[in-house]
Amino acid sequence: MKTLVVGNSLDVLPIIENIFSRGKDEQVTLFTTEGVLPYDRSFLPALVASQDNEREIFKTSEIFLAAYHPQVVTAENLARISVKRRHLTTDKKKQIDYDRLVLVDTGHLILPPVKGHQRTGVFDCWRLSSIKAIKKHLPLAECVTIVATKPQGINMACAISQLKKEVTVVTSGLGLLPDILDEETGLLLKQILEGKGMRVLSESAVEEILGDAEVKAVKFKSGKVLASDTVIFDEAKADIRMLSEPTLTDQDQICIEESFKPPVMPFAPVRFGLNVLDGFYAGWTKLPEGGREFLKFDGPQNIYRKIYAHGDHLAGVVVFNAPQVSESLLEMLQRQDNITGKEEEIL
């Protein structure tokens, strides 16, 4: 059985491991959609702030590929995939046949449908090529607008603020990360970023990016116009237009076959804020029905700890600027410890 795995995120690694574990007859080809080894995309904002060496983001893949030996194709770009004929074609006209396709990502993204998103100075923050383009662009930039819906956007804002740029974060909610954090925590996150010199525009949506060839300003649905020479979106979807069957959707082909899905670590932490805000969250980050919440906040130090309980057990945590308690809270969350009567002690 010849399996072709297409993608550039670290999600491809456990998939390959899973396939090889099925038997000796498995043949696996990894086609990397960005011309480099798979990497952890969450590290990309730190590269903008020059906190990490680019080589560091490939270490996990290098260790993995030293233990497993799929055929790896990194020197060519994806041109088209024919699902019915079962082959991938590269931009150099090379054809790779397969019996089974696992499509993780295509290496191409579609930005939100905001008028003017094709102008020079508009970027996503999920690909290494985009990060390199941002780094090349930033020395000439002054005013950066980041439309943040995910921790990746918050991390980009923190990274660029360290470069002494004027940073504006745009959010659809009252507070930041409204789809992840409860309103109280999101408002505090907003307050902390504003205290670090960033501007946060709440309940806002970008309607149009203004300028000629290059970005000059952003126009909001409210009618307000903000001067800006750079716009970064942390929301994007996979571009599947290179699939030969136009009726296929991303739900049909981008999702990984059930048996190949990477194992998800229960309550795996998500870290954000870089050195500006040392934060993480894990588990439930909004109060579950019938749940309880407890918090402790040191305003002058911006130290915030919040835990969520469901029944007798710890169900979720959010922590800002308190790395000394992070590991112990995560261990308790993984174990699903009974915390009744111990909430204040834990905080």
**pLDDT 10s digits, 297-316:** 998 889 999 999 998 999 99
**Do strands 225-227 and 230-233 pair parallel, antiparallel, or not at all (unpaired)?**
unpaired
Predicted pLDDT at 215: 97
Closest CA to 178 of 152, 203, 156, 160: 203
- Of the chain, the percentage scoring pLDDT greater than 70 comes to 93
**pLDDT 10s digits, 80-113:** 998 888 899 999 999 999 988 898 888 999 999 9
* Side chain identity at residue 147, one-letter code: V
Decide which of 255 and 163 is more confident: 163
* Side chain identity at residue 148, one-letter code: A
Predicted pLDDT at 263: 58
Predicted pLDDT at 244: 65
* Side chain identity at residue 273, one-letter code: G
Per-residue pLDDT band at 22 (split at 50, 70, 90): confident
Residues contacting 125, CB < 8 A, separation 6+: 44, 45, 131, 134, 152, 153, 156, 232, 233, 234
Mean pLDDT of 67-79: 92
Residues contacting 346, CB < 8 A, separation 6+: 294, 307, 314, 329, 332, 339
Predicted pLDDT at 260: 61
**What does DSSP assign to residue 263?**
P
**pLDDT 10s digits, 259-295:** 565 555 667 889 999 988 899 999 999 887 888 999 9
Predicted pLDDT at 151: 96
Mean pLDDT of 10-18: 92
Mean pLDDT of 235-253: 66
User: Two tokens at 123?
Assistant: 């970027």
313: burial class by Cβ within 10 Å (0-12, 13-18, 19+)? middle
d(CA 62, CA 32) in angstroms, rounded, equals: 14
User: Two tokens at 151?
Assistant: 């921790």
Per-residue pLDDT band at 324 (split at 50, 70, 90): confident
Confidence (pTM): 0.91
Measure the CA dihedral 326/328/332/337, to 10°. -130
**335 in helix, strand or coil?**
helix
Predicted pLDDT at 258: 53
Mean pLDDT of 69-77: 92
Is the pLDDT assigned to residue 180 strictly greater than 60? Answer: yes
Across 24-33, 162-171, 286-295, the highest mean pLDDT is recorded for 162-171
The CATH number, out of the four listed (3.50.50.60, 3.30.460.10, 3.30.750.24, 2.60.120.10), of the domain defined by the range 110-233: 3.50.50.60
Is the pLDDT assigned to residue 254 strictly greater than 50? Answer: no
Is the pLDDT assigned to residue 253 strictly greater than 50? Answer: no
Q: Taking a C-beta distance cutoff of 8 angstroms, is the pair 122, 252 a contact?
A: no
Closest CA to 144 of 213, 234, 222, 54: 234
Residue 164, CB half-sphere, CA atoms under 13 Å: how many?
A: 2
Least confident of 146-150, 216-220, 223-227, 245-249: 245-249
Superfamily of domain 2-108+241-260: FAD/NAD(P)-binding domain (3.50.50.60)
**130 in helix, strand or coil?**
helix
DSSP 182-222: -HHHHHHHHHHHHHTT-EEE-S--EEEEEESSBEEEEEETT
d(CA 154, CA 234) in angstroms, rounded, equals: 9
**pLDDT 10s digits, 193-219:** 999 999 999 999 999 999 999 999 999
d(CA 306, CA 213) in angstroms, rounded, equals: 46
2-108+241-260 and 110-233 in the same fold: yes
Mean pLDDT of 21-38: 90
Decide which of 249 and 320 is more confident: 320
Q: Taking a C-beta distance cutoff of 8 angstroms, is the pair 270, 281 a contact?
A: yes
**What does DSSP assign to residue 40?**
-
Q: Tell me the average pLDDT of the chain.
A: 90
Domain ranges of the chain: 2-108+241-260, 110-233, 278-346
Predicted pLDDT at 325: 84
